[in-house]
């Protein structure tokens, strides 16, 4: 277990959880990160030379975050530096880890698309959300959110009302 920083302690004692916090914490809990990493593994960068590749799970998390918040690759990278919620979602500690840069994310997106994994991840995420009675409203980082879907059925209109 990593040692807590003062920043982590301060953030945990905040008075309000934002919609971004709630959304990312929910995705953290319900998405099958290990399964997805195993699905991407056969296609992922595996060169022996050059710089060390970023972990698959970190790249999937960054990709999901980019999709959910409608961010460009550069904005996703900047968001991790700027937002504690995003950094926590990525499981990054700035003392030990580096944030994947925008070009790394762009190459990862191309890899997913080339092998049809982008659609697979999206379909699986939507199925998981639906099974948990959740709906994801994608948007910009300020307005993306997740909500519980009501299980009430709509009342059917009476024949006399439908004719009006």
State how far the Cα of 157 lies from the Cα of 28, in Å rounded to an integer.
41
Residue 62 belongs to domain spanning: 6-163
Kindly report, residue by residue over 52-109, the tens digit of the pLDDT.
778 899 999 999 999 999 999 999 999 998 888 899 899 887 777 788 899 999 999 9
CB of 65 closer than 8 Å to CB of 89: yes
Domain count, the chain: 1
Residue 132 within a domain: yes
High-pLDDT (> 90) share of the chain, %: 48
- The residue with greater pLDDT, 28 or 159, is 28
Residue 105 within a domain: yes
DSSP annotation of 100? P
Residue 1 within a domain: no
């Amino acid at each position: 277990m990593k040692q807590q920083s003062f920043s982590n302690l301060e953030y945990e004692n905040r008075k309000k959880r934002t919609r971004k916090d709630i959304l990312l914490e929910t995705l953290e809990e319900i998405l099958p990160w290990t399964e997805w990493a195993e699905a991407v593994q056969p296609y992922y960068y595996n060169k022996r030379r050059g710089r060390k590749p970023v972990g698959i799970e970190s790249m999937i998390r960054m990709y999901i975050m980019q999709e959910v918040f409608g961010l460009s690759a550069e904005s996703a990278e900047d968001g991790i530096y700027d937002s504690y919620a995003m950094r926590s979602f990525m499981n990054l500690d700035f003392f030990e880890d580096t944030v994947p840069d925008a070009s790394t994310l762009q190459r990862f997106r191309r890899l997913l698309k080339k092998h049809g994994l982008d659609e697979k991840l999206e379909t699986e995420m939507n199925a998981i959300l639906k099974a948990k009675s959740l709906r994801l409203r994608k948007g910009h980082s300020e307005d993306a959110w997740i909500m519980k879907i009501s299980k009430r059925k709509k009342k059917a209109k009476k024949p006399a009302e439908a004719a009006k």
